[in-house]
Amino acid sequence: MKKFNPAKIIDHTNIKANASAKEIKKTCQEAKKYGFRGVCVNTRWTKLVSEELKKTKIKTVVLIDPPLGLSSHPKRVELSKQVKKDGADELDIVINVIDIKYERYNEVLEDLKEISKILPTKVIIGSGYLTNKEIEKASELVKKAGAFCVKTATEKDPLGHIELEEKARHLKIMKESAPGLKIKAAGKIRTFKDVQMMVKAGADIIGTSSSLEIMREYRRSH
Instruction: Mark whether 57 is an active-site residue.
Output: no
Instruction: Mark whether 167 is an active-site residue.
Output: no
Annotated catalytic residue, options 59, 122, 143, 151: 151
Q: SS3 string of 66-85?
A: CCCCCCCHHHHHHHHHHHHH
DSSP 119: S
Annotated catalytic residue, options 11, 86, 89, 92: 92
DSSP 148: S
The residue among 57, 62, 3 whose CA lies nearest residue 34 is: 57
Beta bridge partners of 121: 91
Annotated catalytic residue, options 143, 182, 184, 188: 184
The residue among 6, 20, 9 whose CA lies nearest residue 183 is: 9
Instruction: Mark whether 151 is an active-site residue.
Output: yes
Residues marked as catalytic = 92, 151, 184
